[in-house]
């Protein structure tokens, strides 16, 4: 996703090596200078992501530099997932100040694979860029500048876990939610499982029943999971009962989510809502069936993959 910047930097690195060889041999060439480099997101859609890199250089020589003798390659990894590969075979640096524009495209179909690796790695991603260049002189020389890396760490479910009691009272019944717990379940490339549980006490005088639990998970406005369970869970008066719930996220929807994340300065609101249908009989003998929210959780996912 950010490899073209490295390609430009690597090109400059190899140019400087090449000119250093010329300078030693003939004492005529001066190495160019990297003045500034700026990279940004370009067009983003469901299928691909464009990265635009502007590299400002200063060539102090009176002649242009054409580096047809240089070839190089850069690989970009998010954890161990190869997200992109770029290569350049020739670099042209005119005399004086210049700006080079380099564009690359990322295949967004690789996003589910990265997402699975991010969760399996305890919500930790290492952005790693590896490069290799070859300078073609009388003999070939291989150059590998130090890898560039940065990290992205999240905790999307952690803030939902709590033992702070919460009173939920609606009409003919009252509940005390004593604890909430969320965790990732089975993680695969195509799906992500969210497991949760609530410890609930019925503070009323009669038994009521959780007749249905529904889970809705969103990343920005994209629905990642929507699951219903109709397993009835009775809540006797004064007893602590564990109410489990489960949702399965469709990782293919990451392709719909990604443009919204990039276009919002790499910020995403992750939200998860658990709703229950509670049934019972009121004090006057009238049956009721009410939908109530048992859990509403939000967290902010912020990344800086381009290092801007």
Residues 206 and 126 in one domain: no
Q: What is the pTM of this model?
A: 0.81
Domain end: 98, 123, 153, which one?
153
Q: Which two tokens stand for residue 165?
A: 């009691």
For position 49, what pLDDT does the model report? 86
* 84 and 187 share one domain: no
| Residues 174 and 205 sit within 8 Å (Cβ to Cβ) | no
**Same domain for 23 and 148:** yes
Q: Which of 153, 179, 194 is the last residue of a domain?
A: 153
Do 174 and 90 lie in one domain? The reply is: no
Question: Of the candidates 255, 266, 271, 282, which has an alpha carbon nearest to the alpha carbon of residue 113?
Answer: 255
With contact defined as beta carbons under 8 Å apart, do 304 and 152 qualify?
yes
Residues 142 and 246 in one domain: no
Q: Are residues 261 and 177 in the same domain?
A: yes
Predicted local distance difference test score (pLDDT) of residue 63: 78
pLDDT tens-place values along the chain, 308 residues long: 555 555 655 666 656 655 555 554 444 556 667 676 676 788 999 999 887 777 777 888 787 766 665 555 567 788 989 887 766 666 677 888 988 777 777 889 999 999 999 999 999 999 876 655 454 544 554 444 455 678 889 999 999 999 999 999 888 899 999 999 999 999 999 999 999 999 999 999 999 999 999 999 999 999 999 999 999 999 999 999 999 999 999 999 999 999 999 999 999 999 999 999 999 998 888 999 999 999 999 999 998 887 76
Q: Do 175 and 146 lie in a common domain? A: no
The whole domain housing 165 covers: 158-302
37 in helix, strand or coil? strand
Residue 12 counted as domain residue:
yes
CATH number of the structural domain spanning residue 40: 2.60.40.10
Could you give the CA distance from residue 194 to residue 189 in angstroms, rounded to a whole number?
14
**308 within domain boundaries:** no
Q: How far is CA 25 from CA 29, 45, 68, 239, 265, in A?
A: 10, 50, 19, 88, 49
Residue 196 lies in a domain: yes
Q: What are φ and ψ of residue 251, in 5° steps?
A: -70, -20
Dist. CA 18–CA 134, nearest whole Å:
10
pLDDT digits (tens, 9 = 90+) for 158-168: 999 999 999 99
Q: Exposed (0-12), middle (13-18) or buried (19+): which is 45, by Cβ within 10 Å?
A: exposed
Whether 307 is covered by a domain: the verdict is no
**How many domains does the chain divide into?**
2
Pair (171, 278) in one structural domain = yes
């Amino acid at each position: 996703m950010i490899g073209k910047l490295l390609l430009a930097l690597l090109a400059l690195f190899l140019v400087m090596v090449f000119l250093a060889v010329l300078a030693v041999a003939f004492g005529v060439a001066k190495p160019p200078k990297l003045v500034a480099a700026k990279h940004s997101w370009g067009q983003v859609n469901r299928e691909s992501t464009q990265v635009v890199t502007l590299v400002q250089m200063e060539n102090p020589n009176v002649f242009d530099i054409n580096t047809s003798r240089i070839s190089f390659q850069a690989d970009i990894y998010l954890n161990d997932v190869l997200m992109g590969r770029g290569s350049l075979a020739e670099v042209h640096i005119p005399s004086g100040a210049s700006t080079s524009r380099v564009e690359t495209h990322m295949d967004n179909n690789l996003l589910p694979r990265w997402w699975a690796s991010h969760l399996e790695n305890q919500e930790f991603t290492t952005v790693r860029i590896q490069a290799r260049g070859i300078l073609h002189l009388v003999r070939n020389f291989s150059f590998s500048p130090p890898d560039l890396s940065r990290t992205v760490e999240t905790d999307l479910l952690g803030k939902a876990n709590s033992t702070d009691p919460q009173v939920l009272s609606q009409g003919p019944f009252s509940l005390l939610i004593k604890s909430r717990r969320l965790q990732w379940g089975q993680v695969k490339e195509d799906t992500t499982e969210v497991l949760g549980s609530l410890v609930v006490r019925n503070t009323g005088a009669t038994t009521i029943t959780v007749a249905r639990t529904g889970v809705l998970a969103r990343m920005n406005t994209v629905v990642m999971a929507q699951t219903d369970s109709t397993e009835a869970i009775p809540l006797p008066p004064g007893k602590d009962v564990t109410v489990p719930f489960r949702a399965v996220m469709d990782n293919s929807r990451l392709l719909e989510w990604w443009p919204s994340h990039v276009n919002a300065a790499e910020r995403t609101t992750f939200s998860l809502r658990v709703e229950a249908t509670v049934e019972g009989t009121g004090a006057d003998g009238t049956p009721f069936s009410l939908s109530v929210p048992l859990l509403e959780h939000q967290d902010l996912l912020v990344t800086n993959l381009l290092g801007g």
